Structure 1
Amino acid sequence: MDIDINEILNHPIVRQILLWLALGLGVGIVAKIIIPGNEQMGWIRTIGVGLLGSFLGNFLAPKLFDWPTYNPFSLPGIGIGIAGAVVLVVVNRIVTKS
C-alpha cells in the first residue's frame, strides 16, 4: 500500500486545513509584531491566537459596527482578523501579566 503525498495534499479538506493554519500563523505573527512583548508564545499558540482572532474579528465586527460580512481570506477580512488577534494578544498579556 503506497501513500502518495501529492494525492493527500491535493485533497480539498487537507488544503483547506493547511490554508487555515497558514492564515492563523500569518495573522498571529503580524499581531505579535504590532504588539511586541515578552509573551512566551510558541508556534501553536501563535496559530491559535491568529485563528481565534480572525474568527472573532470577522464574526463580531459586522455585528458590533454594522459592517458587511467579509471572507476571512479577503484583504478586509485579513485586516479584521489581525485586529481581532491584536485584541487577543493584549488580553493574553493582561491575563498572564506578561
Structure 2
Amino acid sequence: MFNIIGAIISGLIIGVLARYFYPGTVEMGWIPTILLGLGGSLVAGLVTSRGQRDFNRAGCLASILGAIALIFLGRVLGIG
C-alpha cells in the first residue's frame, strides 16, 4: 500500500518538475501529471537498465529527463 502511495507522490513530483523544466507551457491536469512522472520513471529505468534482466529504479534526474522526453514525444506525435 505504501509503495503505491510513494509511487503516486514521486510521480507527481517528477511530473511537476518535468513540466517546469520543459520549454514552453505544458497544459495538463493533476492525473496526467502523475502519469507523466510515472511514465518518465519507467522510461528512465528501462534506459538505465541497458537490456539487463534486473530492472533498476532510475534516479530523480533521469526520471525527470524521461518525463521531458515523453512530453516531447507527445508533442511530436500531436497528442499534447
Determine what percentage of the aligned residue pairs are the same residue: 30
Structure 2 unaligned runs (5+)?
none
Q: Which residue of 2 aligns with 1:88?
A: 70
Structure 2 length-normalised TM: 0.80
Structure 1 unaligned runs (5+)?
1-12
Matched AA of 1:59: L
User: How far off is 1:79 after superposition?
Assistant: 1.2
**Which aligned segments of 4 or more residues in structure 1 are displaced greater than 3 angstroms?**
69-72
- 1:1-98 equivalences in 2 (<5 Å): 13=1, 15-63=2-50, 70-72=56-58, 77-96=59-78
What is the number of equivalent residue pairs in this alignment? Answer: 78
8 Å CA contact 1:39–1:93 kept in 2: the answer is: no
Q: CA RMSD in A?
A: 2.2
- Map Cα deviations across residues 5-51 of structure 1 (whole Å, 9 max, x no partner): xxxxxxxx2x1111000110110111111104333311111111100
